[in-house]
């Protein structure tokens, strides 16, 4: 039997001024069927199209189990729950350790494919009022993952993600993060990551650059919004 996972919720958001920035990070649950195009869910917007969204970042899935960890870590009075990380898809039972780069899922009429981990950014810090949340998330590889859309179609929270293909020698999202963020100039690991043909173009370009220059790109602007 093919592996099936049911989502707990799906979310879409509109661009608005929130937390001192223009963002669509605040998303609302969608309880009806919705069209999934190559660009993402109908009605879901993106404020920064250079760094978010696009064909290889059409959907973001985040494990609901992680919210208890953040609640405990920061001992915060805020209610840590989906979709607080700006995710489109919330799930229980799918984690970075068990989801692989290139995994393909049938979801309703659509087919989606895991393209990369989510790159934590400073907007999460502003959203939660915690200066280093993005750094902490990157350090422990609890960032969720992104999808490209292989086949558009109607989807809904009531339809499962059915795993239909897994690439040979694929790396888990955790393994990708532990190389890309945790050991970013390890040549052997970078070569293994470079062999992952389903890795998004933007991440692959950085892998190739590191192998050529033995330098890591500056993460400060993404993580902290300053040099």
Task: Tell me the per-residue pLDDT of 137-160, one tens digit each, with 9 for 90 and over.
Answer: 999 999 999 999 999 999 999 999
- What CATH number corresponds to the domain at position 83? 2.40.33.20
State the average pLDDT over residues 102-117: 98
- Is-contact 64 39, C-beta < 8 A? no
Which two structure tokens, joined as six digits, stand for 80? 């840590």
Rounded to the nearest 10 degrees, what angle do helices 173-180 and 187-194 cross at?
A: 130
> For 4-15, what is each residue's pLDDT tens digit?
999 999 999 999
> For 184-205, what is each residue's pLDDT tens digit?
999 999 999 999 999 999 999 9
From residue 47, give the alpha-carbon distance in Å to each of 8, 17, 22, 36: 25, 10, 6, 19
* Average pLDDT, rounded, for the chain: 95
Q: Could you tell me the residue range of the domain that residue 119 belongs to?
A: 4-224
> For 46-99, what is each residue's pLDDT tens digit?
887 666 778 999 999 999 999 999 999 997 767 899 999 999 999 999 999 999
pTM for this predicted structure: 0.96
Which two structure tokens, joined as six digits, stand for 90? 């919330």
Domain count along the chain: 1
Distance CA 57, CA 146 (A): 5
Distance CA 226, CA 60 (A): 25
Whether the per-residue pLDDT at 1 is higher than 60: the answer is: no
Which two structure tokens, joined as six digits, stand for 64? 């609901």
């Amino acid at each position: 039997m093919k592996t099936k996972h049911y989502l707990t919720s799906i979310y879409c958001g509109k661009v608005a001024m929130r937390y001192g920035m223009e963002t669509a990070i605040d998303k609302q649950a969608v309880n009806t069927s919705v069209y999934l195009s190559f660009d993402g869910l109908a009605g879901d917007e993106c404020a920064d199209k250079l760094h978010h969204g696009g064909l290889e970042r059409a959907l973001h899935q985040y494990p609901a189990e992680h919210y208890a960890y953040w609640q405990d870590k920061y001992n915060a009075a805020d209610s840590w729950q989906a979709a607080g990380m700006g995710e489109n898809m919330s799930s229980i039972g799918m984690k970075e350790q068990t989801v692989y780069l290139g995994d393909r899922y049938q979801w309703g009429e659509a087919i989606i494919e895991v393209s990369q981990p989510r790159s934590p950014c400073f907007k999460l810090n502003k959203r939660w009022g915690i200066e280093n949340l993005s750094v902490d998330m990157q350090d422990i590889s609890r960032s969720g993952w992104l999808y490209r859309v292989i086949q558009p179609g109607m989807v809904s929270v009531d339809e499962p993600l059915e795993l239909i293909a897994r690439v040979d020698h694929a790396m888990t999202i955790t393994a990708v993060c532990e190389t890309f963020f945790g050991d970013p100039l390890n040549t052997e690991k970078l070569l293994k990551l470079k062999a992952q043909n389903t890795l998004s173009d933007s991440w692959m370009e950085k892998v190739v650059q590191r192998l050529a220059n033995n330098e890591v790109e500056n993460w400060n602007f993404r993580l902290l919004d300053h040099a």
